[in-house]
Amino acid sequence: MAKILHVQTVLTSDDLEALKKKTGQKTTKDAVATAVEHYLECPYTDSGDLWAERLEKTIQQRKK
């Protein structure tokens, strides 16, 4: 069973509104949860060079 924790962070109002818009969520809690879930699942978060890997993947897809 997973242990559930309450966490806090400090964001500017502009960053929080941008996060809500980008995630499509209306509440702070849901926007942050969506962002964290995406970050944990995204294959690029462990990458040393995110942009190089994404560019290479795009090039390979276009060659097909």
Position 53 scores a pLDDT of 75
Q: Where are the domains of the chain?
A: 13-63
Each residue's pLDDT tens digit in the chain (64 positions)? 889 899 999 999 999 999 999 999 999 999 999 999 998 888 777 766 767 777 888 888 888 7
Strand residues in 1-64 grouped as ranges (E):
none
Measured between alpha carbons, how far is 31 from 34 in angstroms, rounded to an integer? Answer: 5
Distance CA 45, CA 20 (A): 20
DSSP code of 4? P
**DSSP conformation class of 3:** P
pLDDT of the residue at 47: 66
- Report pTM: 0.66
Amino acid sitting at position 6 = H
Q: Which of 49, 48, 18, 53 is nearest to 32 (CA)?
A: 18
